[in-house]
Amino acid sequence: MSSSAEIHPVPAGFAGPDTITADAYARDYTRSVQDPDGFWGEAAQRLDWFKAPTKIRNVSYDLEDFRIRWFEDGELNVSVNCIDRHLARKGDKTALIWEGDNPDTEAKHISYRDLHARVCKLANALRNLGVGKGDRVTIYLPMIVEAAVAMLACARIGAVHCVVFGGFSPNSIADRVSDCGSKLIITADEGLRGGKSVPLKANVDAALKLPGTNTVETVLVVRHTGGAVEMQMPRDRWYDAVVDDQPDTCEPERMNAEDPLFILYTSGSTGKPKGVLHTTGGYLLFASYTHQAIFDLRDDDVYWCTADVGWVTGHSYIVYGPLANAATSLIFEGVPNYPDVSRFWNVIDKHQVTIFYTAPTAIRALMREGEAPVKKTSRKSLRLLGSVGEPINPEAWRWYADVVGDGRCPIVDTWWQTETGGILISPLPGAIDTKPGSATKPFFGVQPALVDANGAVLEGATEGNLVITDSWPGQMRSVYGDHQRFIDTYFKAYPGNYFTGDGCRRDEDGYYWITGRVDDVINVSGHRIGTAELESALVLHPKVAEAAVVGFPHDIKGQGIYAYVTLKAGEAYSEDLRKELVRHVRSEIGPTASPDHIQWAPGLPKTRSGKIMRRILRKIAENAPDQLGDTSTLADPSVVDSLVKERYIPG
Ligand code: WT7
């Protein structure tokens, strides 16, 4: 554990005119936690308000008197902040660059002026279709310009968007549509990824046949690939047919700072995915401030975040943060290995990308292909690299720095969550020396602490559960439709604190090292999936009696999914059934939820009270049968021996 051994100092000559220096970070961080009202009141001036807030912060984590409110008497509109206010000086600046899945498809450059017209037209069309302030709109689109336009058009009229990742199945769409009661869905004929088409419209059709989805009145369909789809009139409307003739200006809705902006579903340790609710003022302020400071944004940057808008990273760091900052943000439809494994680096050269933000799983996958596919490209335009989604192992960090960045570009390893709205722990590239594998230091206003299982605060160099002791403006405000679940999930375990669900180490320099989830959530390629969700999908299969799912270390994905399955009496284990169960989980949840291994389990290790002992199952999945610990409390210790014998052994 080399915490202080390997330090990468801020490169000499990195700083631009507005780069935050080490001294400025120390000074402003102190102020941000000692005088949060003064600090955030000033920071709020980076946004344009119809009515500037006079109340900055109104927060109590007290379970009996719980509230999180920021800028509560302020009024603003997110789309005005992301577009209109840039028009006078930067109307011709490129807001979005679109690079298609196929490198031969012509890239698009959308100026702020053009974006304004597109957003206004769709906003008008949505209003004509009866969508208004507070209504929910589901967005199920590929990575195309219309995805950003749709989010901003909702924001313009005060509708609450709920983006569903294009890799999710009809079941998952239906769950989300019914939970939030969407009135309208925006989708496309098909998506395109790695040369393969994804039947988006057909998935929506299948979802809308499922119970609970009859709130949906209209489905808008973007013509993208031109693939054939079934249009069900009058429900289904072509996007261009309803949008093209609309006026290209649209009066924005005046929104209160605490009005909802979007819902995004994410997996937790229990039950169905939660609708994480973010509001308007605090979220936008936090997304834009973190984006500018952590990526040290400059006017001529070309910024590329490879996430999908279906995840929070796409919300905060492809759309809202960058556009609020009048940046040029690249939207990429494709995948890292199509048409070949140089694609990322070719796109960087083609569009002269200066800031590149991706996930450790992609870095590890590309690292496996060796240096040649990287080294044959220039990448001279790059000046800063970012990482997000899971802990980055030091080996991948060094490869990213040395091979991709030619040893020239600092790396910002950014720790945050769907719930946090924006980055909470990360280096500021001109202020904080980095250590491979550490997200380093908290952003302004963020107060991390480490606690033990009993909630006692641990001081100094130590390891424990990561909590945040006070609010920040980008914090989620509720679980949609279930405020009590919000409080119970995040504020009960360690009263007075927000519990992240992550374990963490702090070294002697005060640097934070996230060690991964400490709850029953698996992080597969930077995507969260709850073991409870996987287990309920498995037991839905008619032949399955019981299932227990754990994560295990995976070279590329970070964590893989390991399922133990017990069949019903009389059912026979077979290779075909194993494949069928994998297909079954994919169709219940989506391809990201595919189990990597299914082990047949004649019995599961349970306590005498019937509780599955996951600790034991995790150790078996990790191929560490010598570390099972005490098994004497099991109802039937012999089941462990048979599971150990039949375990999957890598290699
Ligand atoms: C979980 C949140 C944040 C947007 C993408 C994922 C893990 C995220 C890091 C990082 C170590 C990280 C945590 C966190 N995580 N970034 N830089 N280092 N771990 O959002 O799906 O809400 O997942 O991802 O475990 O709790 P998410």
Query: In angstroms, what is the span from residue 492 Cα to ligand 1's centroid?
Result: 21
Residue found by looking up tokens 């943000």 in the block: 329
For 182-195, how does the pLDDT look when each residue is reduced to its tens digit (9 = 90+)? 999 999 999 999 99
Can you tell me the mean pLDDT for 410-438? 98
Torsion sign across C-alpha atoms 464, 470, 476, 480: positive
Please state whether the peptide bond connecting residue 602 to the residue before it is cis, i.e. omega within 30 degrees of 0: no
Query: What is the token pair recorded at 526?
Result: 């930077």
Query: What is the token pair recorded at 125?
Result: 């069309």
Can you tell me the mean pLDDT for 514-523? 94
Query: What is the token pair recorded at 183?
Result: 């009135």
Instruction: Give the DSSP letter of residue 218.
Output: E
β-bridge pairing 260-266 and 274-279: antiparallel
Query: In angstroms, what is the span from residue 572 Cα to ligand 1's centroid?
Result: 39
Can you tell me the mean pLDDT for 344-361? 98
Judge contact between 246 and 120, C-beta under 8 A. yes
Residue found by looking up tokens 């309920």 in the block: 536
Does 74 have pLDDT greater than 60?
Answer: yes
Judge contact between 513 and 483, C-beta under 8 A. no
- Residue 425: strand pairing partners: 415, 442
Selection from 625, 628, 631 nearest residue 649 by Cα: 625
Does 629 have pLDDT greater than 70?
Answer: yes
Residues 6+ apart with CB under 8 A from 91: 111, 112, 113, 116
Does 566 have pLDDT greater than 50?
Answer: yes
Q: Residue 481: what pLDDT? A: 97
3-state helix, strand, coil in the chain (%, to 5): 30, 25, 45
**What is the best residue among 357, 390, 423 to mutate for testing ligand 1's pocket, by most ligand atoms within 8 Å of CB?**
390
Question: Binding site annotation covers 390?
Answer: yes
Q: Residue 513: what pLDDT? A: 98
Pocket of ligand 1 (CB under 6 A): 266, 311-313, 388-391, 413-418, 439, 500-502, 514, 516-517, 523, 526, 528
User: What's at 577, amino acid-wise?
Assistant: L
For residue 118, the surrounding DSSP H or E stretch is helix 112-128
Query: In angstroms, what is the span from residue 233 Cα to ligand 1's centroid?
Result: 42
Instruction: Give the DSSP letter of residue 245.
Output: T
Can you tell me the mean pLDDT for 392-401? 97
Does 632 have pLDDT greater than 90?
Answer: no
Does 2 have pLDDT greater than 60?
Answer: no
Judge contact between 557 and 525, C-beta under 8 A. yes
Can you tell me the mean pLDDT for 361-374? 96
Atom of ligand 1 nearest to the CA of 414: 17
Q: Residue 4: what pLDDT? A: 55
CA 519, CA 500: separation in Å to the nearest integer?
10
User: What's at 83, amino acid-wise?
Assistant: I
β-bridge pairing 108-111 and 184-188: unpaired
Q: Residue 1: what pLDDT? A: 46
* DSSP states along 11-35: PTT---TTPPPHHHHHHHHHHHHH-
CA 280, CA 507: separation in Å to the nearest integer?
36
Query: In angstroms, what is the span from residue 502 Cα to ligand 1's centroid?
Result: 9
For 200-249, how does the pLDDT look when each residue is reduced to its tens digit (9 = 90+)? 999 999 999 999 999 999 999 999 999 999 999 999 999 999 999 999 99
Query: What is the token pair recorded at 66?
Result: 């719980």
Is residue 196 exposed (0-12), middle (13-18) or buried (19+ Cβ within 10 Å)? exposed
**Same CATH topology for 110-261 and 525-646?**
no
Atom of ligand 1 nearest to the CA of 526: 6
Is residue 103 exposed (0-12), middle (13-18) or buried (19+ Cβ within 10 Å)? middle
Can you tell me the mean pLDDT for 361-386? 97
Residue found by looking up tokens 């093209």 in the block: 244
Does 640 have pLDDT greater than 70?
Answer: yes
Atom of ligand 1 nearest to the CA of 527: 21
Query: What is the token pair recorded at 8?
Result: 């990468």
Domain 110-261 has CATH 3.40.50.970: no
Can you tell me the mean pLDDT for 94-115? 98
Selection from 455, 365, 437 nearest residue 404 by Cα: 365
Distance of CA 15 to the CA centre of its chain: 29
Q: Residue 268: what pLDDT? A: 86
Does 403 have pLDDT greater than 80?
Answer: yes
Number of Cβ atoms within 10 Å of the Cβ of 294: 23
User: Domain 525-646 carries which CATH code?
Assistant: 3.30.300.30
Residue nearest (by alpha carbon) to ligand 1 atom 8? 389
Query: In angstroms, what is the span from residue 530 Cα to ligand 1's centroid?
Result: 14
Assign a CATH topology to domain 22-64+283-516.
Rossmann fold (3.40.50)
Is residue 586 exposed (0-12), middle (13-18) or buried (19+ Cβ within 10 Å)? middle
Selection from 576, 558, 554 nearest residue 567 by Cα: 576
Query: In angstroms, what is the span from residue 417 Cα to ligand 1's centroid?
Result: 5
Can you tell me the mean pLDDT for 79-99? 99
Q: How confident is the model at residue 635 (pLDDT cuts 50, 70, 90)?
A: confident
Helix segments in 523-574, DSSP class H: 531-539
Residue found by looking up tokens 């989708």 in the block: 187
For residue 90, the surrounding DSSP H or E stretch is helix 85-90
Can you tell me the mean pLDDT for 605-622? 91
Domain boundaries, the chain: 22-64+283-516, 110-261, 525-646
CA 584, CA 448: separation in Å to the nearest integer?
40
Question: Binding site annotation covers 502?
Answer: yes
Radius of gyration of the chain (CA): 24
Can you tell me the mean pLDDT for 415-424? 98
CA 73, CA 286: separation in Å to the nearest integer?
17
Query: Counting runs of H as helices and runs of E as strands, what totals does the chain give?
Result: 21, 31
Residue nearest (by alpha carbon) to ligand 1 atom 2? 417
pTM comes to 0.95
Does 340 have pLDDT greater than 60?
Answer: yes
For residue 638, the surrounding DSSP H or E stretch is helix 638-645
Residue 226 CB-half CA count within 13 A: 0
Mean pLDDT of the chain: 96
Q: Residue 425: what pLDDT? A: 98
Can you tell me the mean pLDDT for 469-497? 98
- Residue 41: strand pairing partners: none
- Residue 528: strand pairing partners: 523
For 255-284, how does the pLDDT look when each residue is reduced to its tens digit (9 = 90+)? 999 999 999 999 988 888 999 999 999 999
